[in-house]
Amino acid sequence: MRPHDDDLDDEIRGHLAISIKERIERGEDPASARLAALKEFGNLTLTRDSMRSVWRYGWLDAADALARDLRFALRALLRARGLAATVVVTLALGIGANAAIFSVVRGVLLRPLVNRDEDRLIYIRQSAPGIGAENMTFSMPEIGDIESRATTVAAFGDFSTVDFALTGLGIEPRMVKAGVVNGSFFDVMGLHPVLGRLINRKDDGKDAEGAAVLTYRFWTTALNSDPTVVGKTIRLGVRTATVVGVLEPSVPYPTDTEIIANVVTSPHHLGATMVTRRTHRMTELFGRLAPGATVEAARAELTAAYAATVRAHPEAYSPRANVQLKISRLRDQIAAPARAILLVLLAAAAVVFVIACSNVANLILARSVRREGELAVRAALGAGPGALRRTLLAESLVLCTAGAVLGIALARPLVAVVAQFAARFSVRALEVTIDTSVLWVGAALAIAAAVLLAYVPRLPSPQAPAGLGLASGVRITPGTNRRLRIFATTQIAFSFVLLAGAAMLLTTLVALQTAHTGFDMRRVVAFDVPSAAAGESDIDFYQEATRRVGRLPGVEGVALSMFVPWRDAGSFGPGIQFAVDGYRPADGEENPRARFRVVSPRFFAVMGVPLVAGRDFTDEDRDGSELVVIVSQSVAQRLFPNGEPLNRHMWWTDPYFGSKVARRRIVGVVADVDDESIVRGPSMAIYQPVRQIGVAGRLFVRAAGDPYALVPAVRRTIHELSADQPVERAATLEDIRSEVLSPDRVNAFVFSGFAGIALLIAVVGVAGVLAFSVSARTREFGVRLAIGSSPRHLLARVLSEGMAIAAIGVAVGAVGGLALAGAAGKFFDHVQVPGALPMASAAAVLIAAAVGASLMPAARASRVDVMQALRSE
């Protein structure tokens, strides 16, 4: 239907031809006929354009207008570069932070696993809230009970984490995190090999050959993706195994293992303790739902079965422990530790976005007030409200698009940072990459911001007397003023929430970092010198190693233990029950629990832990001599508040130690040290001599000078004794503690980053609002000065306006934040509310920042030149 442009030209040409011909026929000469016809026709181009515009469709029309508006907006913004840059950077921060956090949230919490039918996979755990054990894992008899009663679960796979000393494959002997699995594990998990095969049912039982599967990460990083690896023989501790295959890339759970082997590779797994003892818990249980069964059905069935098991074996489940069976989708289980922190970060990013938007809204609002004159002129020239809105929309679209582009560019490095951070909570974060979803998020946020911003400014109303708007000078209507202040207050309120949160994390962190631990943190370096096979060790080797390391120059002392403070936290469970002569638990009270520690003579001296009473262990406390222990001060004080603990006898009552319990004499009392938790608590601990237990594996060296300078010499000395002995993870206690604290530190760091951005934006916002309000009220200030106000009075007045915005913002933020925390507390455990100190410091920072931001505008107000101000309009 729509005529071609040539068609229009033809039509005009035809018209002219007819007109000329007629004139010639009337007797005019051709040249003047032609001129007259052209003159009569008028503006050719304009006519053709209006003919063409008749045919334009609605949206084409709109697109054309928009393109025009965009060009116009670009030119207008280029004239206001400072404002445009502020807006773009502010939006970019908001959009970038959101896009980055969203990619990580999506990658960690929402993306499906690679496992076949991953939504049918469940993870089963046994928790004992009564004794603070979130996940006790299972013993083999317990797994047998569950398996025999389940109909809703088609198959179970079990997995126990062990540490193997790996030799072979042409790499340095070292400890590897390994998993020992039954034959159905990989089938249940729905994973495939990239090379060779995985472990299957034929690998079960004690007569099978040792078989090991390498994880993809181990194969690619440690072995350079060696294609010939399948079929090679490796030594895992005391047993050998053949590498049968390489696992496809998948989320390692429950631990980041490097090798997964069959049961026969771990002598411990074939032992009677493992097979028959109900309380020997070290295995994790996975299941694949039977066809048609739901997670809820499985939960109901297995919980009922479990309750029966608990009733049948009261000796294995203490009532105080309050054991429970927990079943969750594997994906949720893997994401669980990261969920809360990621959602908090997402909320923080959203808050930053709101702050950024309100700040930008303020800038735009101020700008639009300044250009009310321009808008009024355009309205007077016939631009309807739609057209004016479109102009504003075009401007905000240009700004927001630029902000989004910059924000997405910013998101790329941010994703890496946030993923590193989230990796401390969930291994899945390591696979997070930036993808197109970021673009969508960025675009959606930009559009949301653009539309919001376009509707912020007031349009000149058609009813309003045009003269007002057309007059030069800026006036702020009360409505605009209120809006400006509301946006500024919003920013302060949201910034306060972030600042208070950050302050809380920082105070906690500072408290943790400066806490006194009871150890000599800087001069002691700890080594992992794991015994060749778990549970078995040659104590003479350790004795000799200690002796030789002790002779190295610069070494002040050497000691052995089986536990590196904090780094090995949790590896021995929540404490073991014991009894002591002369202490009878009250009725209904269970036997006390204490940490089971094994140390060599001079351990306390090396670690800087003072001996409070009695004696240290000596080399004479060995196999065959009298069994002795040293207790921590907490044990002494709790059990014998008035009496003398020395020379009394204690014995372990946990069934793990069997029925023939040895009585041990208390020979010493040492100061309390909490080597389990970062937040120091009372620490009941009982130390036993290395030579009477026969377990070691951790070497502590006290240095006279720089502790790290000793590391190569220590390693060399031990390798002289045994070339295959791994000597790993050398670090001072201080560094170990920092390492353990690093999630807290990163948490505080990331959150403070958000709070810092928010504070910066809010300060810019408050300063901007006041500066604008002052510049628009020059006349008012002039009048005030003329009728006798002192400049100082005006200064105080503007400062107090800034203070008022900040104070109201802080109050709203505090009330809203506490309400939010209350609401969040209903959905999440462990919602912390900042204490008085962080809240007060956040408020102080914000108010100080607001005062600082008000200073310049206030100074300007007080310096207004009366005559100029009065003459200005």
Partner 1 sequence: MAKPPDDQRLELLQGTLDMLILRTLQWGPQHGHGIGLAIRARSDALLKVETGSLYPALHRLVKRGWLKAEWGVSEAHQRAKFYRLTAAGKAQLLREQDRWSQLVDAIGRVMNPEPAGKE
Interface ranges with partner 1 (CB under 8 A) = 1, 3, 10-12, 14-15, 17-19, 21-22, 40-43, 46-47, 50-51, 53-55
Contact 705, 656 (CB under 8 A): no
Minimal distance, residue 67 CB to partner 1, in Å:
22
Contact 368, 457 (CB under 8 A): yes
Q: Report the C-alpha gap between 348 and 208 in whole angstroms.
A: 54
Minimal distance, residue 41 CB to partner 1, in Å:
5
CA dist list (Å): 485 to 573, 804, 856: 56, 10, 18
| Category of 800 on φ-ψ map: left (φ > 0), alpha (ψ -120 to 50) or beta | alpha
User: Which uninterrupted H or E stretch holds 842?
Assistant: helix 836-862
Nearest in space to 142 (alpha carbons), one of 253, 264, 277, 271: 277
Nearer to partner 1, 18 or 300 (CB): 18
Minimal distance, residue 58 CB to partner 1, in Å:
12
Nearer to partner 1, 55 or 708 (CB): 55
Minimal distance, residue 462 CB to partner 1, in Å:
21
- β-sheet bridge partners, residue 161: 179
Contact 854, 766 (CB under 8 A): yes
Q: Report the C-alpha gap between 568 and 579 in whole angstroms.
A: 25
Nearer to partner 1, 49 or 172 (CB): 49
Nearer to partner 1, 56 or 793 (CB): 56
Q: How are beta strands 239-247 and 324-329 bridged, if at all?
A: unpaired
Q: Report the C-alpha gap between 422 and 439 in whole angstroms.
A: 21
Minimal distance, residue 29 CB to partner 1, in Å:
18
Can you give the length of the chain in residues? 873
Minimal distance, residue 35 CB to partner 1, in Å:
15
406: number of Cβ within 10 Å:
18
User: Which uninterrupted H or E stretch holds 636?
Assistant: helix 633-639
Q: Give the HSE-up count for residue 358: Cα atoms under 13 Å, Cβ half-sphere.
A: 25
Nearer to partner 1, 12 or 821 (CB): 12
Minimal distance, residue 8 CB to partner 1, in Å:
8
Q: Which two tokens stand for residue 83?
A: 């404002």
One-letter amino acid for residue 859 of the chain: A
Minimal distance, residue 63 CB to partner 1, in Å:
19
Nearer to partner 1, 11 or 209 (CB): 11
Minimal distance, residue 46 CB to partner 1, in Å:
6
Residues 324, 326, 329, CA angle at the centre, nearest 5°? 180
Q: Report the C-alpha gap between 629 and 460 in whole angstroms.
A: 87
Q: How are beta strands 193-196 and 611-614 bridged, if at all?
A: unpaired
Q: Which two tokens stand for residue 398?
A: 């240009």
Nearer to partner 1, 17 or 409 (CB): 17
Minimal distance, residue 17 CB to partner 1, in Å:
5
Nearer to partner 1, 9 or 435 (CB): 9
Nearer to partner 1, 22 or 619 (CB): 22
Nearer to partner 1, 17 or 844 (CB): 17
Contacts of 9 (CB under 8 A, 6+ apart): 48
Minimal distance, residue 45 CB to partner 1, in Å:
10
Contact 672, 518 (CB under 8 A): yes
SS3 state of residue 42? coil
Nearer to partner 1, 37 or 140 (CB): 37
Nearest in space to 199 (alpha carbons), one of 116, 123, 286, 260: 260
Q: Which two tokens stand for residue 463?
A: 């009813």
Q: Report the C-alpha gap between 357 and 348 in whole angstroms.
A: 14
One-letter amino acid for residue 258 of the chain: E
Minimal distance, residue 26 CB to partner 1, in Å:
10
Minimal distance, residue 13 CB to partner 1, in Å:
9
Minimal distance, residue 54 CB to partner 1, in Å:
4
Q: Report the C-alpha gap between 757 and 780 in whole angstroms.
A: 35
Nearer to partner 1, 19 or 200 (CB): 19
SS3 state of residue 616? coil
Phi, psi of 675 (to 5 degrees): -95, 0
826: number of Cβ within 10 Å:
7
Minimal distance, residue 466 CB to partner 1, in Å:
24
SS3 state of residue 343? helix
Nearer to partner 1, 38 or 275 (CB): 38
Contacts of 58 (CB under 8 A, 6+ apart): none
- 């002779």: which residue's tokens? 551
Minimal distance, residue 64 CB to partner 1, in Å:
17
Nearer to partner 1, 18 or 110 (CB): 18
Nearer to partner 1, 41 or 828 (CB): 41
Nearer to partner 1, 57 or 827 (CB): 57
Contact 683, 632 (CB under 8 A): yes
Minimal distance, residue 452 CB to partner 1, in Å:
37
Minimal distance, residue 9 CB to partner 1, in Å:
11
Contact 448, 353 (CB under 8 A): no
One-letter amino acid for residue 230 of the chain: V
Nearer to partner 1, 8 or 646 (CB): 8
Nearest in space to 122 (alpha carbons), one of 189, 180, 183, 191: 189
Contact 710, 620 (CB under 8 A): no
Nearer to partner 1, 16 or 552 (CB): 16
- β-sheet bridge partners, residue 728: 528
Contact 351, 499 (CB under 8 A): no
